[in-house]
Amino acid sequence: LEGDGVRLSAAAAQTEADVEQAAQAADAAERAARQADEERHRAAARADALARALHELQGAGGREALIGVDGVVGSLVDLVEIDQGWEAAFEAAAGAAVAAVVVNGHVAAREAVARLRTKGMTGAVLPPGASATVDPRNLPPGAELVRTHVRAPSTVEAVLDGLIGSAVRMPGWEQAIDLAVDRPDLVVVTGEGDRFAPSGWRVR
């Protein structure tokens, strides 16, 4: 009986230790579950915020608000036809205007801006601008005009001329920087989407 009592006491002590260890593990698991749930909520909130920011950055809300406004031709990115392999160069040359709405004339542009302000929406409007053409004969070897690789309906041609008429693509970023320094009148881009302009340099 004494021997059995010693063994039972030892077994009881081990069981108590196991119970205590299991309880600690359960507490740790519960804390980890709460932390994971909090992180999930934070990630979901951040994803929603980023989605809203992206929607606003792309001007999607503004484009939707301008549907039906007289003189609105459409979104620039939906109106242009770009040669294969020149998509990144065009996007870099157009900059933030790639998601803008093209309008037919300054009266339509004024009405579009008024609509955006009334609705409190973010958006970009592209009226026809002054042509910024560049003589290709004055460009260094390897430089190509982006404009010659982008086509659009006749109502958008003047917008493209003003937007990317001075944009050229260079084969590499080092040559692009050299040209941007030598020719501040140009917007110099690369096939990868880098952009070097008087307003700033951006690596895609």
Q: What local confidence, expressed as pLDDT, does residue 117 receive? A: 87
9-67, pLDDT tens digit by residue? 888 989 999 999 999 999 999 999 999 999 998 898 888 877 766 655 555 556 677 77
Q: What local confidence, expressed as pLDDT, does residue 32 receive? A: 92
Question: pLDDT averaged over the chain?
Answer: 86
Higher per-residue pLDDT: 2 or 195 = 195
pLDDT grade for 93, boundaries at 50, 70 and 90: very high
pLDDT grade for 172, boundaries at 50, 70 and 90: very high
Query: Residues 153-169: what's their mean pLDDT?
Result: 89
CB 113: neighbour CB atoms within 10 A? 16
Query: Residues 153-173: what's their mean pLDDT?
Result: 90
Q: What local confidence, expressed as pLDDT, does residue 61 receive? A: 54
Query: Residues 145-156: what's their mean pLDDT?
Result: 91
Higher per-residue pLDDT: 122 or 2 = 2
111-150, pLDDT tens digit by residue? 888 888 888 877 788 887 766 778 888 889 999 999 999 9
Q: What local confidence, expressed as pLDDT, does residue 49 receive? A: 79
